[in-house]
Structure 1
Amino acid sequence: MLRVTFLGTGGSLPTPERNPSAIMVNREGELMLFDCGEGTQQQMMRAKTGMKALSSIFITHFHADHILGIPGLIQTMSFHGRTEPLKIYGPHWVHEFAKILSALGYYKLRFEIDAIDLNPGDIIKRDEYSIMALKTEHSIPSLGYALIENERIGKFNRQKAIDLGVQPGPLFSKLHRGESVEVDGKLIHSKDVVGDGRPGRKIVYTGDTRPCKAILEASKDADLLIHDSTLASDQQEWAIESMHSTAQEAAALAKEANVLRLVLTHISSRYSDDASQLFEEAKDIFEKVVVAEDMMELDIPYKDKK
Structure 2
Amino acid sequence: MIDLTLLGCGGNIPLPNRFLSSVFINFNGRKILIDCGEGTQVSMRMKRCGFKDIDLICITHTHGDHIIGLIGLLSTMGNSERKAPVTIIGPYGIKDAIKAVKMLIDLPYQLNIIENPDGRFSLNNKELAQLEIETIDLYHSTECIGYNLYFSRRPRFSVEKAEKNCVPKKYWNILQKGTHIIDGDIKYTPDMVLGETRKGIKISMITDTRPIETIPEFIAGADLFICEGMYGDDIDISKAVKNRHMTFREAACLAASGNVSKMLLTHFSPSIEDPERFLENATSIFPNTIIGYDRLSTSLGFTE
TM bucket by the smaller chain?
0.7 to 0.9
Output the amino acid matched with 1:263.
L
Relative to 1, partners in 2 of residues 1:152 and 1:260: Cα closer, same or farther, differing over 3 Å?
Answer: farther
Return the offset for 1:152: 4.2
- Say which of 127, 131, 134 aligns to 1:132: 134
Distance 1:287 1:45 in 2: 33
Q: How does 1:152-231 map to 2 (within 5 A)?
A: 152-154=154-156, 196-231=196-231
More displaced, 232-241 or 113-122? 113-122
Relative to 1, partners in 2 of residues 1:171 and 1:75: Cα closer, same or farther, differing over 3 Å?
Answer: closer
Distance 1:172 1:80 in 2: 38
Report if the CA contact (8 A) 2:120-2:132 is conserved.
no
Return the offset for 1:147: 0.3
Relative to 1, partners in 2 of residues 1:64 and 1:171: Cα closer, same or farther, differing over 3 Å?
Answer: closer
Distance 1:240 1:25 in 2: 31
Distance 1:150 1:236 in 2: 38
Output the amino acid matched with 2:209.
T
Return the offset for 1:302: 1.4
Return the offset for 1:58: 0.8
Q: How does 1:68-107 map to 2 (within 5 A)?
A: 68-104=68-104, 107=105
More displaced, 207-216 or 113-122? 113-122
Distance 1:174 1:74 in 2: 35
Residue 297 of structure 1 aligns to a residue whose secondary structure is strand
Report if the CA contact (8 A) 2:51-2:80 is conserved.
no
Distance 1:173 1:113 in 2: 34
Structure-2 residue corresponding to 1:246: 247
Distance 1:59 1:174 in 2: 36
Instruction: Kindly provide the CA deviation profile for residues 277-303 of structure 1, in whole angstroms up to 9, marking residues without a partner as x.
Output: 331111111111101110101101112
Structure-2 residue corresponding to 1:110: 108
Residue 116 of structure 1 aligns to a residue whose secondary structure is strand
Cα RMSD of the aligned pairs, angstroms, is: 3.0
Structure-2 residue corresponding to 1:187: none
More displaced, 120-129 or 83-92? 120-129
Report if the CA contact (8 A) 1:135-1:215 is conserved.
no
Distance 1:291 1:250 in 2: 12
Structure 2 unaligned segments of length 5 or more: list them. Answer: 179-189
In the alignment, structure 1 residue 150 sits paired with structure 2 residue 152: yes
Structure-1 residue corresponding to 2:54: 54
Distance 2:172 2:26 in 1: 31
Distance 1:22 1:111 in 2: 22
Distance 1:142 1:297 in 2: 26
Report if the CA contact (8 A) 1:147-1:204 is conserved.
yes
Report if the CA contact (8 A) 1:120-1:143 is conserved.
no
Structure-2 residue corresponding to 1:237: 238
Return the offset for 1:213: 3.0
Return the offset for 1:268: 1.1
Return the offset for 1:154: 4.5
Return the offset for 1:125: 4.1
Distance 1:82 1:62 in 2: 24
Residue 235 of structure 2 aligns to a residue whose secondary structure is helix
More displaced, 5-14 or 214-223? 214-223
Kindly name which structure, 1 or 2, has the bigger radius of gyration based on alpha carbons: 1
TM-score, normalised to structure 2's length? 0.84
Instruction: Kindly provide the CA deviation profile for residues 120-167 of structure 1, in whole angstroms up to 9, marking residues without a partner as x.
Output: 5353346212011111111111001100123542575x8x99xx9x9x
Return the offset for 1:89: 1.1
Distance 1:279 1:198 in 2: 35
Residue 214 of structure 2 aligns to a residue whose secondary structure is helix
Identity %: 32
